[in-house]
Chains A and B, each alone.
Chain A
Amino acid sequence: MFRITKFFSCSSLARLKHTLVVVEHDNQKLSQITLNTLTAATKIPKNETVTCVVAGAGCGNIANEVSRLAGVNKVLVVDDSNLQGFLPENIAPIIVDLQKKNNFSHIAFGSSAFGKNLMPRVAAMLDVQPVSDIIGIDDENTFVRTIYAGNAIQTVRSKDPIKIFTVRGTAFEAVKPDSAASPAEISPAGLTATATDKAAFVNQQLAKSDRPALNAAKVVIAGGRGLQNGENFKLLYDLADTMNAAVGASRAAVDAGYVPNDLQIGQTGKIVAPELYIAVGVSGAIQHLAGMKDSKTIAAINKDPEAPIFQVADLGLVGDLFKEVPEMTKMMKKN
């Protein structure tokens, strides 16, 4: 493949785009956000192909799953024990090598902890100023994202020859599993991974839950400082069980140690946009709103009628959550 230079950009021939999607997974399970990222990739104007790279250690099943997603034209696999731990120091060089071999016009990552950690390292190695957490694509060079905790929307046009970005999951629909008419071709990328001696993965402590994940649930119930302690979160879990809801929390609740960090919703935590968001004992600080104000319906329970959360709520109930939530749980259980 020849390196396409700026010389061609003025041509009247629409230069076709080819996008690389970096698949997120843990070797066993495909991450939800990859499905949203894939949709974003297919929405790039003039995009001709979508190639997915599956890099991991024992990731053959993931490659198969990805090949069966609609919109995927090709799957490239780098299956190497050196990629155990998914360190950006080991994965970034692989993406850079792929880019040099294939000359993609766009490289897309999900805006998750994994994507946010890896994408900018790849971008810097390719001397590109990336675009983080896009919520829209205006044209092949122009992207929409939020700034100031979602209080302003910024449209940026990239002048770099390669567009590198992360995709906000809630802004694009998820591609359905097994949706491809016929599976895409899977081939080894023909690259070897080297394990850096400068960094090592030690371990992970992940929450195990039978409940839906925050980014996939139709209903999210979030608790704030009003819950007063971790044990009281049981009230929310009981309510969540009646609705197959996920449970999240405000920064205040996590900082106070009521719940672990993976529940945090907000500007610097998770961004969710479920059908229904129920904020319980959450004041509604700007930074929390950033994480949930795109929810379809917002309900709130707070004993303070002046709480800012009521300004964004559709169904606001001023009351004592310790009385209201158990009442709600009882009523939801009926019929």
Chain B
Amino acid sequence: MSLRILVGCKRAIDYAVKIQVKSDLSGVVTEGVKHALNPFDEIAMEEAVRLKEKKLANEVIAVSCGPAQSQDVLRTALALGADKAVHVEVPAKEYETLQPIHVSKILAKLAEQEKVDLIILGKQAIDDDCNQTGQMTAAVLNWPQATFASKLQLKDKEATCEREIDGGLETISIKLPAVVTADLRLNTPRYATLPNIMKAKKKPLKKFSPKDLGVDITPRQEIVKVCEPPKRQGGGKVASTEELVERIKKLGVN
């Protein structure tokens, strides 16, 4: 089995950064802020590379949609083991309103062009927290979907996926080509080693515009405003177990 895998790689503000809302309430401050490959996409990338190492896949293509800086995460993906990268360039202004519906159509077009058997995406991006792109891409292609995957086993052209759901775990079986979205416990991603970072510089990186792929990125949603959540007081202390229990009993919740 020699699968061709497409992995979505989004450049998002690093998970450890304390974000700041812009004073004009138009969005979150991203200039000069540390960004990284979306953690769920790292997991997706790791899964794809492992499939290659198991000789079940022979080509892993990393894709990122965004302005020039998106190439940073593509270089990371190449260093982690992707064979080639595709940058779908979206200028900064338009990127602010690029939504999953656009990305799903872009990924679908690329999947068809590259004759991909499996698309692995992170289950959600930690910036917009949408959790939509995988499902939408599957719909555009009319492929089956396995979301929140915590285990993936491939045999012939079929995948058995264990998924994390509200009550526990669910196992489904899907036929390739398919879309899988990676959840936290699918794997533990590797770090890019320095030799691999150097090797990555020689790997191919192709650039397209959404127009090249026939995708209209006119926004469907307008961001009216972005503001800070109500501040929580916090810092309340109790001196002893007795005091804690007393205060809890006073709440009268049980």
Contacts and interface: CB of A to CB of B under 8 A. Distances in A.
Interface stretch (A41-49, A53-61, A327-335): A327-335
A16 interface: no
A157 B224 contact: yes
A260 B129 CA distance: 23
Given A121-B138, A152-B226, A202-B172, A196 B144 contact: yes
Given A276-B251, A287-B15, A262 B99 contact: no
Contacts of A242: 254
A159 B100 contact: no
Nearest to B165: A113
A243 B249 CA distance: 10
Contact of B220 (A122, A147, A159, A207): A159
Contacts of B134: 120
Interface in A259-296: 260-262, 267-268, 270, 274-276, 278, 286-287, 293
Contact of B145 (A89, A114, A153, A157): A89
A156 B26 CA distance: 11
A219 B248 CA distance: 10
A9 interface: no
B101 A268 contact: no
Interface residues of A, number: 96
B168 A268 contact: no
Contacts of B235: 310-311, 313, 316
B122 to A, nearest CB: 10
A109 to B, nearest CB: 12
Contact of B101 (A127, A205, A278): A127
Interface string B222-253: 11111111001111111011101101110101
Max chain A C-beta neighbours (<10 A), residue from B164, B242, B244: B244
A314 interface: yes
Contacts of A262: 164-168
Given A113-B148, A113-B165, A157-B222, A198 B143 contact: yes
Interface stretch (A64-72, A98-106, A128-136): A128-136
A244 interface: yes
A148 to B, nearest CB: 5
Contacts of B244: 299, 301, 315, 317, 324, 328
A197 interface: yes
A279 B140 CA distance: 42
Interface string A146-170: 1111111111111110000000000
A127 B101 CA distance: 8
Contacts of A260: 168-169
Query: How many B residues are at the interface, by size bracket?
Result: 35 or more
Nearest to B174: A199
A146 B19 CA distance: 13
B221 A157 contact: yes
A108 interface: no
B175 A198 contact: yes
Nearest to A270: B166
B154 interface: no
Contacts of A314: 233-234, 236
A204 B164 CA distance: 10
Given A123-B136, A201-B172, A316-B238, A159 B222 contact: yes
Given A199-B172, A268-B184, A315-B238, A132 B129 contact: yes
A87 interface: yes
21 contacts: A118-B135, A124-B104, A124-B139, A128-B220, A130-B132, A147-B127, A153-B227, A154-B226, A158-B220, A159-B220, A204-B171, A206-B167, A206-B168, A219-B254, A243-B248, A270-B166, A278-B248, A293-B229, A299-B248, A313-B236, A314-B236
Given A147-B226, A276-B251, A299-B244, 10 more contacts: A114-B165, A123-B132, A127-B101, A152-B21, A242-B254, A268-B123, A286-B18, A310-B234, A314-B236, A316-B235
Interface of A: 85, 87-89, 92, 112-114, 116-125, 127-133, 138, 142, 145-160, 196-207, 218-219, 242-245, 251, 254-255, 260-262, 267-268, 270, 274-276, 278, 286-287, 293, 297-299, 301, 310-319, 324, 327-328, 331-332
